[in-house]
Amino acid sequence: MMGNQACAEGVIAAGCGFAAGYPITPASEVFNALAKQLPMAGGTLLQTEDEISAICAAIGASWAGLKSFTVTSGPGISLMQENIGLAVATETPLVIVDVQRLGPSTGVPAIGVAGDMVQVARGSHGDYQIIAICPESPQEMFDMTVHAFNLAEEYRVPVFVMAEGFVGHMRERVVIPDESQIKLINRKITQGGEPLTRRDFLDPDVAPMPVFGRGFKAHVTSSCHDEYGMRNLHDPDVMHRYIMMPIQKILSKRDRIVEVEADYEGARLVLISYGSVSRSSRQAAAMARAAGLKVGTLRLKTAWPFPDKEVRAAAESADSVLVLENNTGQMYPYIKAESAHACKIDFLGPQVLGQIHDPQYILAKIREIMK
Amino acid sequence: MSEINHPLRKYMRPQVKKTTFCPGCGAGIITQALLRAIDELGLAMDDFVFVSGIGCSAWIPSPLLNVDTLHTTHGRPIAFATGVKMGLPDKHVVVVSGDGDLSAIGGNHLIHAARRNIDMTVILVNNSIYGMTGGQTAPTTPYGMTTITSPYGNAEHEFDLSTLVKSAGASYVARWTTYHPRQMTKSIKKGIEKKGFAMIEAITQCPVQFGRVSKQGSAVNMLKHYKQNGIRIEKAAKMDAAELEGKIVEGEFVNVDKPELIFSIAAALKEPTGGNK
Using CB atoms, which residue from B72, B265, B277 is nearest to A56? B72
- DSSP category for residue A209: B
Asked if B87's CB is within 8 angstroms of A49's CB, the reply is: no
Domain ranges of chain A: 3-181, 259-370
CA dihedral A192, A197, A198, A202 (to 10 degrees): 170
Per CB-CB distance under 8 Å, the chain A contacts of B90 are 213
The pLDDT score that the predictor gives to residue B275 is: 67
Which tens digit of pLDDT belongs to each residue from B214-240?
888 899 999 999 999 999 999 999 999
Half-sphere exposure of B75 (CA within 13 A, CB side): 13
Angle between the N-to-C axes of helices B161-168 and B107-116, in degrees from 0 to 180, rounded to the nearest 10:
40
Quote the CA–CA distance of A127 and A125 in Å, as a whole number.
7
C-alpha of A246 from chain center: 17
Amino acid making up residue B106 = G
Per CB-CB distance under 8 Å, the chain B contacts of A49 are 108-109, 112
Asked if B81's CB is within 8 angstroms of A44's CB, the reply is: no
Work out the pLDDT band at B273, boundaries 50, 70, 90.
confident
Judge if A3-181 and A259-370 fold alike in CATH terms.
yes
Which of B71, B90, B277, B125 has its CA nearest to residue A60?
A: B71
Helical H segments across A70-217, by residue range? 74-89, 119-122, 138-155, 165-169
Question: Which residues have a Cβ under 8 Å from the Cβ of A34 and sit 6 or more positions away?
Answer: A8, A11, A12, A19, A21, A43, A45, A69
For chain B, what is the domain count?
A: 1
Using CB atoms, which residue from B49, B76, B91 is nearest to A56? B76
Using CB atoms, which residue from A86, A212, A230 is nearest to B88? A212
Q: Where are the beta strands (DSSP E) in B76-224?
A: 92-98, 120-126, 172-177, 197-203
**Is the CB of residue B96 less than 8 Å away from at least one CB of chain A?**
no
Residue B174 lies in a domain: yes
Which of A143, A144, A136, A145 has its CA nearest to residue A11?
A: A145
Angle between the N-to-C axes of helices A332-339 and A308-317, in degrees from 0 to 180, rounded to the nearest 10:
60
Q: Which DSSP string do the residues of A24-49 spell out, in sequence order?
A: -TTTHHHHHHHHHHTGGGT-EEEE-S
Asked if B108's CB is within 8 angstroms of A83's CB, the reply is: no
Q: Which DSSP string do the residues of A151-190 spell out, in sequence order?
A: HHHHHTSEEEEEEEHHHHH-B-------GGGS------B-
Quote the CA–CA distance of B197 and B201 in Å, as a whole number.
13
Check if the beta carbon of residue B165 is closer than 8 Å to that of residue B171.
no
**Is the CB of residue A68 less than 8 Å away from at least one CB of chain B?**
yes
The pLDDT score that the predictor gives to residue B276 is: 60
Interface test with A, best of B45, B52, B80, B118 (most A CBs within 10 A): B80
**Is the CB of residue B91 less than 8 Å away from at least one CB of chain A?**
yes
Amino acid making up residue B185 = T
**Is the CB of residue B224 less than 8 Å away from at least one CB of chain A?**
no
**A259-370 in CATH: which number?**
3.40.50.920
Question: Which residues have a Cβ under 8 Å from the Cβ of A253 and sit 6 or more positions away?
Answer: A155
**Is the CB of residue B72 less than 8 Å away from at least one CB of chain A?**
yes
Check if the beta carbon of residue B135 is closer than 8 Å to that of residue B211.
no
Per-residue pLDDT of chain A (371 residues; tens, 9 = 90+): 999 999 999 999 999 999 999 999 999 999 999 999 999 999 999 999 999 999 999 999 999 999 999 999 999 999 999 999 999 999 999 999 999 999 999 999 999 999 999 999 999 999 999 999 999 999 999 999 999 999 999 999 999 999 999 999 999 999 999 999 999 999 999 998 999 999 999 999 999 999 999 999 999 999 999 999 999 999 999 999 999 999 999 999 999 999 999 999 999 999 999 999 999 999 999 999 999 999 999 999 999 999 999 999 999 999 999 999 999 999 999 999 999 999 999 999 999 998 999 999 999 999 999 99
Strands A260-263 and A295-300: antiparallel
Check if the beta carbon of residue A298 is closer than 8 Å to that of residue A322.
no
Asked if B87's CB is within 8 angstroms of A61's CB, the reply is: yes
The residues pairing with B254 across neighbouring beta strands, listed in sequence order, are B173
The pLDDT score that the predictor gives to residue B1 is: 56
Residue B179 lies in a domain: yes
Which tens digit of pLDDT belongs to each residue from B4-50?
889 999 999 999 999 999 999 999 999 999 999 999 999 999 999 99
Residues above pLDDT 70, as percent of chain B: 98
Quote the CA–CA distance of B75 and B58 in Å, as a whole number.
10
Instruction: Identify how many contiguous H helices and E strands chain A contains and give both numbers.
Output: 13, 13
Question: Which residues have a Cβ under 8 Å from the Cβ of B136 and sit 6 or more positions away?
Answer: B129, B130, B147, B148, B149
Question: Which residues have a Cβ under 8 Å from the Cβ of B17 and sit 6 or more positions away?
Answer: none
CATH topology (fold) of A3-181:
Rossmann fold (3.40.50)
Using CB atoms, which residue from B66, B85, B109 is nearest to A217? B66
- DSSP category for residue A71: E
Q: Is the peptide bond before A26 cis (omega within 30 degrees of 0)?
A: yes
Per CB-CB distance under 8 Å, the chain A contacts of B15 are 196, 230
Quote the CA–CA distance of A229 and A237 in Å, as a whole number.
15
Q: Which helix (H) or strand (E) holds A221?
A: strand A219-221
C-alpha of A234 from chain center: 34
Query: What is the span of the domain harbouring residue B136?
Result: 22-270
Nearest residue of chain A to residue B261 (CA atoms)? A46
Euclidean distance between the first and final Cα of chain B, in Å? 55
The pLDDT score that the predictor gives to residue B216 is: 87
Residue B114 lies in a domain: yes
Residue A88 CB-density burial (10 A; 0-12 exposed, 13-18 middle, 19+ buried): buried
Per CB-CB distance under 8 Å, the chain A contacts of B60 are none
**Is the CB of residue B263 less than 8 Å away from at least one CB of chain A?**
no
Quote the CA–CA distance of A62 and A193 in Å, as a whole number.
21
CA dihedral A135, A299, A131, B83 (to 10 degrees): 0
The pLDDT score that the predictor gives to residue B4 is: 84
Work out the pLDDT band at B164, boundaries 50, 70, 90.
very high
Question: Which residues have a Cβ under 8 Å from the Cβ of A313 and sit 6 or more positions away?
Answer: A262
Residue B1 lies in a domain: no
Quote the CA–CA distance of B263 and B267 in Å, as a whole number.
6
Residue B221 CB-density burial (10 A; 0-12 exposed, 13-18 middle, 19+ buried): middle
Task: Indicate which CATH number applies to the domain containing B118.
Answer: 3.40.50.970
Q: What is the mean pLDDT of residues B67-76?
A: 98
